[in-house]
């Protein structure tokens, strides 16, 4: 049976630890557990069988570290280890499912280490191809603490197989992964990438995982998977022991399934009796899985920070854009990014929640510069990014290597634009700004812009992009040249918000092009747009008067509780 189908109807059980079992069977320190597939296949088979007898529905291959980096020096190739490991699991599993296990590469990625995004992708792609060839039913990417590594691995699975992919990150005391990812961010990014189940494994122990599991369940719309360990390992008389008993493990497992966890198993220190107890404890809940979450958020993420759009006004810093700025133009041409990175950090400090990145210059390799700049900036600031380009190839390259869920700026109502941009937004799970312009230009009336917005929303849905991933921009024109259309932009904003119930965004400073004292026009127009319900403003966060307008608006719109932010800043 297709596991994707089974997941809809019932709770599924994974097996428990493999490493712990192989160690018990005599693995020596420093030996890779994966070589037991080759030198002691009978031991691996007996472990799989013990888990099946305990009631596991899904058997995990003994391949956690079967990547080219970790196998170096073992004398075995990735393909032979994985081929053999899947075959052993397959033989033991009978009609149960076999999950190809993929763990951390074991080295840090750039900028903290030397491994690139493509290095991880290539290594995992090799594992996946071998697993597919050997007949695995699904892939589980587990015990990952770097969201960037997870993203590269997920793409490697999805681009080299059609297998379901389950993802678990491992969290520490801070409630984040070692590299700083929180559960909301993990869900926002990985759901967007189209994984089949998301959750947590290993970590500190089942009790300590409960608050993390609550967070994941709060935000996930896909099945949640949890594989706790039996507590942290401890050495007792030279022997590794785990403090959590099978009974205690099972009682926490029940709590998790009761809250809505749909796939459950064990990590380090859990043995077949843990899975047996877990099944017994949960038996009555197996066919009563909890309903899924229907709360839909518009949210963008860096690897360690998620910004929800729609609950409070959000500011997109516009300063990383060569338009009218010679110094920025020179820096981009010379690939001298220090000043641009400072600009990113300072915009964040000035109050930007999101940063727009635009490298639109003639005579440069925009794809190359954009990806380099995004890599640099994402290593220095945790502000989610908005990729601003008119070239689909530039957008795709940046969105692919972005460590998070970005906003694509932008798509238009033109068929050709939607055909180029929507597949990218869908594949990488990005938010996308829809501009109300089409083949015939920008409609003069609000009604005309509503019709384009409606077409953008409907077309996005056909591509599988949910409405909450769209932001509509009704296009601010320069009041100096298009004075009669300035108010129409705001009317369109209000109309679109009520009719289509989508989030909205505007580039505020466009309004003042060509007129003196731009800041004055900008701040007045911003106040007008805010009162019509604008969700996100693209602006210069260094403009004090605009920031003061935002601060004032938040008081009057009851977004700044007891005006505390206002008082703290201006008293």
What's the token pair of residue 72? 């170096």
Exactly one of 146, 473, 488, 543 binds ligand THG (CB under 6 A); which one?
Answer: 473
> Using the rule CB under 6 A, which residue among 377, 509, 523, 525 binds ligand THG?
509
Q: Would you say the C-alpha torsion 538, 540, 546, 552 has a positive or negative sign?
A: positive
Number of residues that bind ligand THG (CB under 6 A): 15
**How many CB atoms within 10 Å of residue 8?**
11
Own/partner contacts of 463-467, CB < 8 Å, gap of 24 or more, are 463/422, 463/423, 463/425, 463/426, 464/426, 465/422, 465/425, 465/426, 465/432, 466/296, 467/296, 467/500, 467/501, 467/502
- Contact stretch for ligand THG (CB under 6 A) within 263-271, 272-280, 319-327, 376-384: 319-327
Distance in angstroms (rounded) separating the CA atoms of residues 485 and 284: 63
Are 314 and 536 a contacting pair, CB within 8 Å?
Answer: yes
Supply the minimum distance, in Å, between the C-beta of residue 494 and ligand THG: 17
Q: Which of residues 104-143 bind ligand THG (CB under 6 A)?
A: none
From candidates 325, 367, 454, 455, binder to ligand THG by CB under 6 A: 325
- Closest approach, Cβ 335 to ligand THG, in A, equals 21
**Residue 316 CB, nearest distance to ligand THG (Å)?**
8
Interaction of residue 476 with ligand THG, rule CB under 6 A:
yes
**Site track for ligand THG across 195-214, x = CB under 6 A:** --------------------
Is there a contact between 200 and 168 (Cβ–Cβ < 8 Å)?
yes
**Binding positions for ligand THG, 525-564, rule CB under 6 A:** 538
Q: Which stretch binds ligand THG (CB under 6 A): 181-189, 227-235, 321-329, 411-419?
A: 321-329
268 binds ligand THG (CB under 6 A): no
For residues 447 and 329, give the distance between their C-alpha atoms in angstroms, rounded to a whole number. 38
Identify which range of 115-123, 286-294, 505-513, 553-561 contacts ligand THG by CB under 6 A: 505-513
* Per-residue b or e along 18-32, where b marks 16 or more CB atoms closer than 10 Å to that residue's CB: bbbbbbeeebeeeeb
Cα–Cα dist 459/453, whole Å: 10
Strand 431-435 and strand 407-412: the pairing is: parallel
Q: Which is nearer to ligand THG, 67 or 409 (CB)?
A: 409
Of 188, 347, 409, 436, the one binding ligand THG (CB under 6 A) is 409
Among 410, 469, 474, 549, binds ligand THG (CB under 6 A): 410
Show contacts with ligand THG in window 26-55 (CB under 6 A): none
**Binding residues among 419-448 for ligand THG as defined by CB under 6 A:** 433
Q: Which residue of 323, 440, 480, 483 would you call a contact of ligand THG, by CB under 6 A? A: 323
Among 196, 318, 438, 543, binds ligand THG (CB under 6 A): 318
| Beta carbons within 8 Å of 449's beta carbon, 6+ residues apart | 436, 442, 443, 474, 475, 488, 489, 492, 495, 496
Q: Which stretch in 236-244, 272-280, 323-331, 528-536 sits in contact with ligand THG by CB under 6 A?
A: 323-331
> Which residue, 276 or 318, is less far from ligand THG as judged by CB?
318
SS3 per residue for 226-239: EEECCCCCEEECCE
Nearest distance from C-beta of residue 397 to ligand THG, angstroms: 19
CB 106 within 8 A of CB 138: no
User: For ligand THG, which stretch binds (CB under 6 A), given 89-97, 194-202, 273-281, 507-515?
Assistant: 507-515
Calpha distance 185→183 (Å, rounded): 5
Spatial CB neighbours of 172, under 8 Å, sequence gap ≥ 6: 178, 203, 204
Please, which of residues 368-407 interact with ligand THG by CB under 6 A? 388
HEC profile for 236-297? ECCEEECCCCHHHHHHHHHHHHHHCCCEECCCCCCCHHHHHHHHHHHHHHCCCCCCCCCCCC
Tell whether residue 57 is a contact of ligand THG (CB under 6 A).
Answer: no
Nearer to ligand THG, 329 or 494 (CB): 329
Spatial distance between the Cα atoms of 79 and 90, rounded to a whole number of angstroms: 16
- Shortest approach of ligand THG to residue 475 CB, angstroms? 6
Residue placing its CB nearer to ligand THG in the complex, 149 or 540: 540
Q: How far is the CB of 312 from ligand THG (least distance, A)?
A: 20
Q: Among 215, 168, 223, 189, which residue's Cα sits nearest to residue 299? A: 189
Q: Which is nearer to ligand THG, 542 or 566 (CB)?
A: 542
CB of 325 to ligand THG, least distance (A): 5
Residues that bind ligand THG (CB under 6 A): 318, 321, 323-325, 388, 409-410, 433, 473, 476, 507, 509-510, 538
């Amino acid at each position: 049976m297709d596991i994707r189908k089974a997941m809809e109807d019932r709770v599924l059980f994974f097996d428990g630890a493999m490493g712990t079992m192989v160690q018990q069977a005599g693995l020596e320190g420093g030996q890779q557990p994966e070589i037991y597939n080759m030198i002691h296949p009978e031991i691996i088979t007996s472990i799989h069988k013990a888990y099946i007898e305990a009631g596991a529905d899904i058997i995990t291959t003994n391949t956690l570290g079967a990547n080219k980096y970790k196998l170096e020096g073992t004398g075995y190739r990735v393909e032979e280890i994985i081929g053999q490991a899947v075959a052993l699991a397959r033989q033991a599993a009978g009609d149960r499912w076999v999950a190809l296990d993929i763990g951390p590469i074991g080295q840090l990625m750039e900028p903290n280490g030397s491994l690139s995004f493509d290095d991880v992708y290539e290594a995992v792609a090799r594992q996946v191809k071998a697993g597919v060839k050997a007949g695995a039913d699904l892939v589980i990417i587990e015990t990952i603490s770097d969201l960037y590594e997870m993203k590269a691995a997920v793409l490697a699975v999805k681009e080299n197989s059609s297998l379901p992919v389950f993802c678990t990150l491992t969290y520490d005391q801070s409630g984040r992964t070692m590299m700083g990812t929180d559960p909301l961010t993990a869900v926002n990014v990985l759901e967007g990438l189209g994984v089949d189940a998301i959750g947590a494994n290993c970590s500190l122990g089942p009790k300590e995982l409960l608050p993390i599991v609550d967070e994941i369940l709060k935000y996930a719309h896909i099945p949640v998977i949890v594989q706790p360990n039996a507590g942290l390992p401890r050495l007792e008389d030279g022997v590794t022991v785990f403090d959590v008993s099978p009974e205690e493990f099972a009682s926490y497992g029940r709590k998790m399934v009761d809250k809505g966890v749909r796939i459950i198993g064990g990590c380090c220190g859990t043995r077949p009796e843990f899975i047996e107890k877990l099944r017994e404890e949960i038996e009555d809940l197996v066919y009563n899985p909890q309903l899924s979450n229907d709360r839909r958020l518009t949210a963008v993420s860096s690897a360690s920070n998620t910004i929800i759009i729609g609950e409070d006004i959000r500011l997109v810093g516009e300063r990383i854009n060569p338009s009218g700025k010679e110094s920025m133009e020179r820096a981009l041409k010379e690939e001298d990014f220090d000043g641009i990175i400072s600009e990113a950090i300072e915009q964040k400090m000035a109050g930007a929640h999101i940063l727009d990145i635009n490298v639109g210059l003639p005579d440069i390799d925009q794809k190359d510069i954009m990806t380099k700049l995004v890599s640099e900036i994402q290593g220095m600031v945790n502000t989610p990014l908005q990729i601003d380009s008119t070239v689909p190839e530039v957008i795709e390259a940046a969105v692919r290597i972005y460590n998070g869920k970005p906003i694509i700026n932008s798509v238009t109502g033109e068929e050709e634009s939607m055909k180029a941009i929507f597949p990218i937004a869908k594949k990488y799970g990005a938010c996308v700004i829809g501009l109300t312009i089409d083949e015939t230009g920008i409609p003069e009336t609000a009604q005309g812009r509503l019709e384009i917005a409606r077409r953008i929303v409907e077309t996005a849905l056909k591509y599988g992009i949910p409405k909450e991933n769209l932001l509509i921009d009704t296009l601010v024109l320069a009041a100096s040249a298009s004075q009669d259309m300035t108010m129409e932009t705001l009317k369109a904003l209000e109309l679109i918000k009520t009719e289509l119930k989508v989030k909205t965004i505007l580039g505020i400073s466009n309004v003042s092009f060509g007129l003196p004292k731009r800041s004055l026009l900008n701040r007045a127009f911003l106040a007008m747009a805010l009162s019509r319900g604008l969700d996100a403003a693209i602006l210069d966060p260094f403009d004090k008067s605009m920031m003061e307008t935002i601060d004032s608006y938040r008081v009057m719109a009851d977004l700044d509780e007891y005006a505390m932010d206002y008082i703290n800043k201006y008293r």
